[in-house]
Amino acid sequence: MSRQIADIVRRGRRDRLPDPTPATRSAASVGNLDGMTRIRSIRQLDDRHHLTLVCQTSPSWASSRRVGNSVFPAIRAATPGSYTFILPATKEVPRRLQHPGKKTVGVRIPRHAVTQALLAELGEPLVSSTLLAAGRDEPMTQGWEIADQLGQALDAVIDSGDCGTEPTTVIDFSQPDAEILRRGAGDPSAFE
């Protein structure tokens, strides 16, 4: 299955990923500008909202040089897991993936086996956002519901069972002191 979905993503299409946060996510390949636009449209987001790079492992540019020697081991110990890290963007991060004013990027390294298999098959990160449709208070988590309500906006739906609705814990490392922006499924105590 991961090979079929990877082929869809490589052809420039969007899909919905299971996310162990456990809220689900919509995703597109990093180079798919239409997919990024579609993700923003589903959620009615402007370009000031971080889209997240979903990575199989810690990106090489997210090193201790960028986030500090004391923080990097805590990030590595917490991943894969239910966290989104806001990191300073380096020159390796395309501008379209950066927050326009802050020059930061959100990074996730999920634990979910299906998402990890897809990332391994792709060999590159995905751009994503929690699948929280406009006007809804919680993300959609049921594959049939997603296909029914957003089928025209997505090219594939991966249904790996109920993923729940608790979001990731979001931690901002773009400043000298870490700031917990949202408490969620990941334990923030290592970053306090």
pLDDT confidence bin for 64, thresholds 50/70/90: very low
Q: Is the confidence at residue 14, as pLDDT, over 50?
A: no
pLDDT confidence bin for 12, thresholds 50/70/90: low
CA nearest 138: which of 46, 56, 23? 23
* pLDDT computed for residue 169 by the predictor: 95
* pLDDT computed for residue 19 by the predictor: 47
The mean pLDDT of the chain is 80
pLDDT tens figures, 159-186: 877 777 888 999 998 888 889 999 999 9
Q: For 21-30, 85-94, 153-162, which range has the lowest pLDDT when averaged over its residues?
A: 21-30
Answering whether pTM is above 0.85, one says no
Q: Is the confidence at residue 1, as pLDDT, over 80?
A: no
Q: State the average pLDDT over residues 142-157.
A: 80
* pLDDT computed for residue 2 by the predictor: 73
The residue that leads in pLDDT, 51 or 155, is 51
- Say how many C-beta atoms besides its own lie within 10 A of residue 48's C-beta: 9
Burial code (b: 16+ CB inside 10 Å, e: under 16) for 89-116 equals: bbeebeeebbbeeeebbbbbbbebebbb
pLDDT tens figures, 77-106: 899 999 999 988 877 787 878 888 888 889
* pLDDT computed for residue 186 by the predictor: 94
